[in-house]
């Protein structure tokens, strides 16, 4: 078998996936019609033509617009189920997905509406296909820490459905230190913690994620490679990096996948994993990310296995669950 076939067939985990980033234009128009919401774009093709980004903020502007058609529990269910069906067909066996409650609360959609729709889809996928899952509530870092605390209050009746918390949205100018108190409160509630760091932000933000937020893993982490002391620290703490190759390409974090640092991360002994971030916007789901790495970054069979292995090890599954996949 070729490396491509191997990548497609092997059991995989997804550890960095924003459910709102799986919104395919066709489904967005379908829900817009169903909810009688008018989109700024006249057609699927016009919307797709807007998917050209030069940085993270360009993308986020479109991402928040796109999610504005999500209003009812059924919308969150349908969005999540479409994603899970898709990755089930790609041999993804375990998913840890983010949702952005503040992106919906600001539009008058209750926390309960959001999480109930998403959670029901995750449960159905587990029942139908044995796909296991974790759910991660993510705080928007362009908003205040007070807003994150308000969101945590709203989450409290649903904590039995929530495994961890994350930190996403505009990185530059919004360092992890801004959220030190709220992450401490989350940890005291028994939640796992991760944060986007070093996607666009400097190595200092990765240091803060580790030292101040005390993250259990790091989302992206590309720019950690600029500081060898930081690399040593990430390695020593065995922190998993949820790397997103096609996302990095689309958001101009890398110029070309031949320059992507993922091979270098592995060579340094860092626990890099492959993830799709916002697949509807970045041109590909899990297998597309692996195919692109094989074709353009030259990853070999040993690296392929290492990446998949890291995805299981770095997940928040129990040791028993992990052992069943290794």
Binding site for Zn ion (CB under 5 A): 277
Residue least distant from Zn ion (Cβ): 277
Q: Which is nearer to ligand ADE, 78 or 168 (CB)?
A: 168
Instruction: Give the full edge-to-edge strand order of the sheet including 164-168.
Output: 12-18, 92-99, 132-140, 164-168, 192-197, 217-220, 240-243, 271-274
Instruction: Please state, as a whole number, how many other Cβ atoms lie within 10 Å of the Cβ of residue 211.
Output: 13
Question: Closest approach of Cβ 300 to Zn ion, in Å?
Answer: 27
Residue 272 binding: pick among Zn ion, ligand ADE, none (C-beta 5-8 Å cut-off by kind):
none
CB neighbour list of residue 304: distance below 8 Å, 6 or more residues apart? 3, 6, 7, 10, 290, 294
18 lines the binding site for ligand ADE (CB under 6 A): yes
What sign does the dihedral 104-65-21-252 (CA atoms) show?
Answer: negative
14 lines the binding site for ligand ADE (CB under 6 A): no
> Of the candidates 224, 323, 320, 313, which has an alpha carbon nearest to the alpha carbon of residue 273?
313
CB neighbour list of residue 312: distance below 8 Å, 6 or more residues apart? 13, 94, 322, 325, 326
Please, which residues bridge with residue 321 across strands? Answer: none
Residue 56 binding: pick among Zn ion, ligand ADE, none (C-beta 5-8 Å cut-off by kind):
ligand ADE
Set 199, 204, 255, 320: catalytic member: 199
24 labelled catalytic: no
Question: Closest approach of Cβ 301 to ligand ADE, in Å?
Answer: 28
Spell out, one character per residue from 175 to 214, where the chain touches ligand ADE: x when CB under 6 A holds, - when not. Answer: ---------------------x--x---------------
What sign does the dihedral 204-18-94-153 (CA atoms) show?
Answer: positive
Question: Closest approach of Cβ 263 to ligand ADE, in Å?
Answer: 21
Q: Could you give the CA distance from residue 95 to residue 132 in angstroms, rounded to a whole number? A: 7
Question: Closest approach of Cβ 196 to Zn ion, in Å?
Answer: 6
Of the candidate residues 247, 275, 276, 287, the single one contacting ligand ADE (CB under 6 A):
247
Q: Which is nearer to ligand ADE, 168 or 303 (CB)?
A: 168
Q: Tell me which residues touch ligand ADE (CB under 6 A).
A: 18, 21, 56, 63, 168-169, 196, 199, 247, 277-278
Active-site residues: which are they?
199
């Amino acid at each position: 078998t070729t490396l491509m076939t191997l990548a497609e067939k092997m059991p995989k985990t997804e550890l960095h996936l924003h459910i709102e980033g799986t919104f395919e234009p066709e489904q967005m128009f379908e829900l817009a019609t169903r909810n009688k919401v008018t989109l700024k774009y006249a057609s699927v093709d016009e919307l797709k033509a807007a998917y050209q980004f030069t940085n993270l903020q360009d993308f986020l502007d479109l991402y928040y617009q796109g999610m504005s058609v999500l209003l009812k529990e059924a919308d969150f269910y349908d969005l999540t189920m479409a994603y899970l069906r898709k990755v089930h067909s790609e041999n993804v066996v375990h998913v840890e997905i983010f949702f952005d409650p503040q992106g919906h609360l600001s539009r008058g959609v209750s926390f309960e509406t959001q999480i109930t729709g998403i959670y029901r889809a995750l449960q159905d996928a587990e029942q139908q296909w044995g796909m296991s899952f974790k759910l991660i509530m993510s705080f928007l870092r362009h908003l205040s820490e007070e807003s994150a605390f308000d969101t945590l209050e709203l989450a409290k009746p649903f904590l039995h459905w929530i495994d961890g918390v994350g930190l996403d949205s505009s990185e530059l100018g919004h360092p992890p230190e801004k959220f030190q108190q709220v992450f401490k409160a989350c940890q005291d509630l028994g939640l796992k913690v991760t944060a986007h760091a070093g996607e666009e932000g400097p190595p200092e933000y990765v240091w803060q994620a580790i030292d101040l937020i005390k993250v259990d893993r790091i989302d992206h982490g590309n720019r950690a490679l600029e500081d060898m002391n930081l690399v040593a620290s990430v390695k020593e703490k065995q922190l998993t990096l949820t790397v997103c190759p096609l996302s990095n390409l689309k958001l101009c974090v890398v110029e070309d996948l031949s320059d992507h640092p993922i091979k270098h991360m592995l060579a340094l002994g860092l626990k890099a994993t492959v993830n799709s971030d916002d697949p509807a916007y970045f041109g590909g789901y899990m297998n597309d990310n692996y195919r692109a790495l094989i074709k353009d970054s030259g990853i070999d069979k040993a690296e392929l296995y290492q990446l998949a292995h890291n995805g299981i090890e770095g997940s928040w599954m129990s040791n028993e669950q992990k052992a069943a996949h290794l």
